[in-house]
A and B are shown apart, each in its own frame.
Chain A
Amino acid sequence: MRRKITSDLAWAALFAIIGGLVTIGFSGDKPQAVAIAWIAVALVVIVPAALNFPTRFFGQLMPPVWRVATATFHEAWRRRFLNGILIFAVLIIMSSWVLAYLQPGAELKMLIDIGLGSCRFFGLLIAVFLGTRLIADEIERRTIYTLLAKPVSRAQFLFGKFLGGYATVFANVAVMGIAFYAVFAIKAPQFREIDPEKGATTYSMDFMYANIAKAIGLTFVELAVLVAIAVAASTVFSWIFASIFSFFVYFVGQMSDFFRQLSDPDHGASRVAQILLGTIYRVLPHFEIFDIREAILKDQAVFWPVLTKHGLQGLLYVVIIMLIGYLCFNEREV
């Protein structure tokens, strides 16, 4: 019974967060309206959650995948390193309350850099270290034997592990995002009012609230790609090498635009550079598309078609990477 209530509350919270972020994305600079909408969404989702709707719906739609995913999610929350990262991340985000004052005149920038940067950085750590352990631990602890002896195909197992791992990363980053948004909602108006004559810069905040919600949303997409890379890599490599590989792909993927420029013949790239760097540019996921910090700081509108395009691009990356992961895992002996 206790587990059911906890599960329902978790679902309610999850829907509330998603609903809240979407609402903020549409609301622009209207925090009160956002708060009301958020509460409304939370109330509306409690009803289906109380009826255990997601478990009923997804459980019937794809039972093995759903079972593996929920077991992975519940188990992941018991990993101490993950709890440690979450606590540390929230503390860092909360400390931006004070740390922002270290750069007079750029407090708002500090607040955003620390908050969003923490969500992305700690999300990255959780995605990679959790993602690469999901399959490895099943094999190491031999729990995979009883699981694959049941009517669970390798594709269902792999997809379930990915979904459970991603749900964990999502929930962790959502907690960080809420902490950041809370600090931002309280402190940002104060920094905006600092007198420019004393050296501080004023910011226009027409799009900032919405942009921050959009940035967190894009971080969720970015982390889905990363979890997919980590899970797929762990089907081939040991978890340590898979972690190194995932970080490498992430950091090189952040510089994909740089590779595009280097491989551009108009910039004097040689034939070899065109082929080599051009291939890197085309093959690796373009992680820089998920970073909209510049637009936030310049308070420029980030339009939904652009966001949708980046979201779909992220989804496509996930599908391709998981297909590669499946092909590798299908050949693997456990």
Chain B
Amino acid sequence: MILNRRTILHAAKAAVVIATLGLAVTLEPAVSWAEPKEIVMWNNPVSESYTKFWKGLVDDFNNAHPDIHVTYEQFDTETMKTKVRAALLAGTEPDIWFFNPGEFTTINHRQGKIRGLNDILPVDQYTKEGRAGCSDGEDMVCIPLYLAPSVVYYNKALFAKGGVDPSTWANPDRPTLTELNAAIDKLIGAGIQPFAMANSAKWPFMFFYWAAQNRYGGTKVLSNAALGQEGGSFNDESFVKAGQFVQELVKRGAFPSGFNGTAESEIYAQFSQGNAAMLYMGPWAISLTEEQAPQGFEYSLFDFPSIEGGAPDAQTDMMAGIDALFVSASTKHPKEVGEFLSKFSEAETARRFMIETDSISTINGVLEDVIKSGKANEKLAKVANFLAKSGHTYQWWDWALPPAPAEEMLNLSQPLAEGTVTPEEAAARIERAARP
């Protein structure tokens, strides 16, 4: 090719034409010819019934509103955690997404990335507990999908085989730690795996740590440590004792071998297939067990054990997280998003949600109505009863704590389980991460 003025001119003309065509193709048209308003929703496949409910709600809404189109996508918990953070950073978050309220979402709301909902949703329809978990000051910043108190579910047949009878406990609804340890030993003696566990995601094992810390120290010690107020610290004795508690359980053989390398879904499979006698988990375990267990599978539940010598006013506390839906502050269609999400808070929809997905509703009056009508799953009704009688509730730590100590705490899950870090060192590391 000869490089002269003519060829350069031709090349420049060609470049301009190509660039113009490219821009025309990629840029949005200035005028949209009556296309429906697009809303994107990211949800979590909590269980099959949950997914079925939400897909149904989306389809019904789309059919009833030809001028609005909700696109439904779903991602598992771990993928969602990273995806949402990356999207918020890049400004490409969807209109609605599933997440857990906590320090991260509070900061994002205050930075103007998460929308307050008071002006687009009937926030007064939500229960006090639901609003408390989803509020930043006066603003409600998320829709609480359900309250998720964790209890220990147990396989009746395996308990019988192991010679464990909860009715012989001082309180059949809540054993003491001594009673639970005795039950674990009996089950092991009968060749039965006591607890289901799969910890590649790190948080399942830490459920025990969080619950134990609460029993030893109470919610005030936790909040003081998290907020660094009133001299609070993660070096408090209750955190160290929590580490000792979980390591004792591992030494006792309460969990299956190699649990640090197996995925969360294995937990529900171990329990529902009769390979483990107990499962400490939120109420989604009810749906998952009903979906996966064979016909005739019978199970019941009790609260996390009380710990002798623990904090006196913490023995009836419950770990009760909230899963929620958030709305982007940069959504182009806030009114339409509000219209869609308002469907969820309608009493009839909320009742259906509770019955179909075995979830504790956060809409005023629905929980009581459904229980009174006898349509609530009897196990869910029992869990709700425990919750109503609980002293305090506390959120899952991986959401409640600021990101840095939350991640450090999760990273300690597997070393604690393996015994490669001492409880004292674990507590010290969380403290260092919380106050760098």
A binds B: no
